[in-house]
Amino acid sequence: MRIVVVGGVAGGMSCAARARRLDEQAEIIVLERGEYVSFANCGLPYHVGGEVPRSASLLVQTPKTLRESLDLDVRVRHDVIGLDAAGRTVTVRTPEGEERIAYDRLVLSPGAKAFVPPMPGIDSPRAHTLRTVDDAVALRAMVDQGARRAVVLGGGFIGLEAAESLAVRGLEVSVVELAPHILSPLEQESAAIIADELRRAGVHIHEGVAAERVEPGADHDVVVLADGTTIDADLIVLSVGVRPDTAVFEAAGVTCERGAIVTDEHGRTNLPDVWAVGDAVLSTDAVTGARRPVALAGPASRAGRAVADDILAPERARPIPTAVGTAIVRVGSQAAGMTGANRRALDAAGIAYHTIHLHPSSHVSWFPGAEEVHLIVHFAQDDGRILGAQAVGRDGADKRVDVLATAIRAGLGIADLIDLDLAYAPPFGAAKDPITMAGMMGENVLDGTLRLWYAQDLDRVLAEALVLDVRREDEWVTGHVPGALHIPHTELRGRLDEVRAAAAGRPVRVLCESGVRSYIAHRVLDQAGFDSASLSGGMITLRLVL
Ligand code: FAD
């Protein structure tokens, strides 16, 4: 059997390698348009920044090593420009000319290409995408040759990794993001922590504004924003998203939706003996059911393996799961991770949910090195199933996101988190880990022990309710919500009459620094007959939202 794989990186190469491990007899040909296969595209920003000094480190395998170890026939500079499904051949453009290659089974993993917005001046030689090894090498060369000012168009994961890398190299960096905030898959209050970190590193952030044009100049370019701002740039990084690289295959009859290849749960396309995986494929969101491509390395690589199984051992092939979309980015000393759906996706899907915010320590606060982990968890109002989560912090955010990603995949409810046996010793966590605390807080919300109000609703709350601040005096004087009543939570039980008088029949909306003391106060007020609620995430979240 001859298996032909198009695309020699995450999805394609994992498929080819698995196929060989299952079948020593199969002829396996990998066709790759570019110069390299199996390269670590996730490492490209770190090569620009110098953290990965040698571009060769990003080349995990070469055609030679793949021939030696897996007997794969890997052909670089082989661009597939046609597919004849009836004749079972692909047409390939090579440096030597065009040729046709027959297949018995065909796997498409062409990935996505960087989107280049149709903007005047964007073809300036100073503007680069960051998608290939050559892109990274070119950007790094521009830095080495003395570029001083960089503009990054797009404040997503790759854009911010690029911005951080360039700032580390000493460039003056500006990030321009069209969405209301950078890292738009994150909630605003999570993204705000990363924005602060970037600003501390000297990066200028322009949010909620489009770049309108690039004005190329002899000495440098000028990026002009829709609000009239002009930014001088010696180099411009384009990271405004990707599009499935599927035109050739769609033209040949592969069914696509908005350019992404439609497959079944085993990666099979509509054409016989043609499979597709990776960034080029339409995924179904595990939480909302929305259909969209998911551009992440782990899912691409796992789908490649599953397709090899479906080709060579279909009786035991695992279906490719729906997409949870777990992702993480490091910016400065902060990490921001997310899994599952965010508010926007849940609202669009019409799913009723609760949200909790908490800011526990990454490990017990008395042990050196403890840092706040800012956690947000969304869970269903009806049955408590976990729908999405985000974690931001200098320590321990990654493991909390991974636990929550596992919980979503397993279909756990928020209260199930209480029962997880998580590893604890002082340097690593707490007997009540942040995950455990999220479970307890969520259970309290579900059973009505805890009622929450949200920072985003502050204006309405100020108009309709009494805001009660239960922090200590020294915290209160550093800044508070105008018009709030101040009673430290330790004094509240003896001063309920003051609350009753100030509320004058209105609801009482309690706040403290993180939401812990306001929860205690809420319990006191609730049991004393007040209509009360506690601010989710407290002043820490409120400051991030305002
Ligand atoms: P790719 O890995 O892009 O491979 C597709 C290959 O197919 C390309 O080499 C292309 O040249 C080739 N090809 C396309 N069309 C043809 C054709 N017609 N003929 C022959 N060859 C063709 N994901 C994460 O999960 N975490 C990260 O930290 C992360 N960081 C990233 C950083 C950067 C800078 C980039 C660019 C991506 C990052 N990703 C990250 C995304 C991740 O790399 C992709 O999701 C993953 O590589 C997708 O695998 P794929 O096989 O679908 O496509």
Helix (H) / strand (E) element for 101: namely: strand 97-102
Look at residue 60 in the predicted model and tell me its pLDDT. 87
Look at residue 55 in the predicted model and tell me its pLDDT. 87
Interface confidence, given as ipTM, is: 0.99
Q: Name the residue among 71, 9, 69, 12 with its Cα closest to residue 35.
A: 9
Strand 282-284 with 149-153, pairing = unpaired
Residue 186's identity, in one-letter code, is L
Strand 466-469 with 508-511, pairing = parallel
* 9 CA → ligand 1 middle, Å: 6
- Rounded-to-integer distance, Cα 150 and Cα 2, Å: 47
Among protein residues, the one whose CA lies closest to atom 41 of ligand 1: 296
Which residue among 13, 37, 41 has the greatest number of ligand 1 atoms within 8 angstroms of its CB, and so is best to mutate?
41
Q: Name the residue among 168, 225, 162, 155 with its Cα closest to residue 194.
A: 155
3-state secondary structure of 102: strand
Whole-angstrom CA distances from 332 to 193, 196, 296 are 11, 10, 22
Please identify, by atom number, the ligand 1 atom nearest to the C-alpha of residue 300.
49
Q: Tokens 């008088």, residue? A: 501
Whole-angstrom CA distances from 456 to 10, 274, 324 are 40, 48, 26
Asked if 78 and 33 count as a contact pair (C-beta separation under 8 A), the reply is: yes
Contacts (Cβ under 8 Å, ≥6 apart) of 478: none
CA 126 to chain centre: 28
3-state secondary structure of 490: helix
Residue 476's identity, in one-letter code, is W
- Rounded-to-integer distance, Cα 535 and Cα 511, Å: 5
Question: Would you give per-residue pLDDT tens digits along the chain (546 residues)?
Answer: 999 999 999 999 999 999 999 999 999 999 999 999 998 989 999 999 889 989 889 988 999 999 999 999 999 999 999 999 999 999 999 999 999 999 999 999 999 999 999 999 999 999 999 999 999 999 999 999 999 999 999 999 999 999 999 999 999 999 999 999 999 999 999 999 999 999 999 999 999 999 999 999 999 999 999 999 999 999 999 999 999 999 999 999 999 999 999 999 999 999 999 999 999 999 999 999 999 999 999 999 999 999 999 999 999 999 999 999 999 999 999 999 999 999 999 999 999 999 999 999 999 999 999 999 999 999 999 999 999 999 999 999 999 999 999 999 999 999 999 999 999 999 999 999 999 999 999 999 999 999 999 999 999 999 999 999 999 999 999 999 999 999 999 999 999 999 999 999 999 999 999 999 999 999 999 999 999 999 999 999 999 998
Cβ 129 under 6 angstroms from ligand 1: no
Cβ 303 under 6 angstroms from ligand 1: no
Cβ 111 under 6 angstroms from ligand 1: yes
Asked if 294 and 283 count as a contact pair (C-beta separation under 8 A), the reply is: yes
* 10 CA → ligand 1 middle, Å: 6
Count of CB atoms within 10 A of residue 423's CB? 8
- Rounded-to-integer distance, Cα 106 and Cα 319, Å: 18
Cβ 136 under 6 angstroms from ligand 1: no
Which residue among 4, 5, 9 has the greatest number of ligand 1 atoms within 8 angstroms of its CB, and so is best to mutate?
9
pTM attached to this predicted model:
0.96
- Rounded-to-integer distance, Cα 317 and Cα 18, Å: 12
Whole-angstrom CA distances from 229 to 22, 202, 208, 284, 375 are 58, 18, 13, 39, 35
Asked if 229 and 206 count as a contact pair (C-beta separation under 8 A), the reply is: yes
